[in-house]
Amino acid sequence: KPHTSTGRRRIKISIKMVASSLLFCFIPLLKNLPFTGNRALQSRSRIVTAASISTDPNVDLLPDIREAVMEADGEQVWKESAQVLSDLFGSSEEEAELYLADAFRWKAWAKASDMMKRFQKPVLPDAAKVRDTLVWLKEGPLELSDEQVRSNIRNYPGIYLVEPKESYRKVMGSAPRKYRDATVLKELISDDPNILQVTFNCDGEGCQSECGSCWVAYENRLPSIPDF
């Protein structure tokens, strides 16, 4: 029995030594956890994005859209434009194509019945113009960050991919005087990116049946800003 007790003590001591050695070796690895964690989070983010795209019912529209684009001799410009957005989002080509399809009215065309398709007017994107648009969004008067550009395109592809510079000019021309200032308008658009499509103002001219894009209707939910 004494020998057994001594043996047990030796085993316990050995276990403690091994545990201490393992902990000593493991501590340096802990210093790298933040970086490993970030990479893991980024990987999970990409996986979540890919999963959300794969479950998006609009993905099923892409084969018909691609076929129609090819028939319009637009396969090359479509792929180039999709690559521009794929680089911006760090995403799959499918995700980029969905933004293009929404912005340039191919999604509406694909969803329409055979009879209504003839009334849809989808257009082909231009990769050079898409690049210029992204540059203007970042370096123009809006000075959007990369994340703001991604968010605005994700939520309003038609507004932020199709001639936003021209829309901005119309917004500045139609906005009430107290909002007709680059700094003020930048703040408003930062808070509500949808304002970039408010390009009409019926005040004093009578209704133009553009209530969804009219300052008269829209101003009611804007913050109060002093006159300039």
Q: Mind listing the pLDDT tens digit for each residue in 110-144?
A: 999 989 999 999 999 999 999 999 999 999 999 99
Would you write out the chain's pLDDT as a tens digit for each of its 228 residues?
444 444 444 444 444 444 444 434 433 433 343 333 344 434 444 444 444 455 577 899 999 999 999 999 999 999 999 999 999 999 899 999 999 999 999 999 999 998 999 999 999 999 999 999 999 999 999 999 999 999 999 999 999 999 999 999 999 999 999 888 999 989 988 899 999 999 988 886 778 777 888 998 888 776 555 444
How many alpha carbons fall within 13 Å on the CB side of residue 35?
Answer: 4
Tokens of 37: 């964690």
Instruction: Look up the pTM and report it.
Output: 0.72
Per-residue confidence (pLDDT) for residue 222, from 0 to 100? 63
Whole-angstrom Cα distance, residue 92 to residue 112? Answer: 26
Per-residue confidence (pLDDT) for residue 3, from 0 to 100? 45
Whole-angstrom Cα distance, residue 152 to residue 50? Answer: 19
Per-residue confidence (pLDDT) for residue 2, from 0 to 100? 44
Per-residue confidence (pLDDT) for residue 202, from 0 to 100? 87
Per-residue confidence (pLDDT) for residue 76, from 0 to 100? 97
Per-residue confidence (pLDDT) for residue 119, from 0 to 100? 93
Per-residue confidence (pLDDT) for residue 47, from 0 to 100? 43
Per-residue confidence (pLDDT) for residue 224, from 0 to 100? 53
Per-residue confidence (pLDDT) for residue 218, from 0 to 100? 86
Per-residue confidence (pLDDT) for residue 55, from 0 to 100? 59
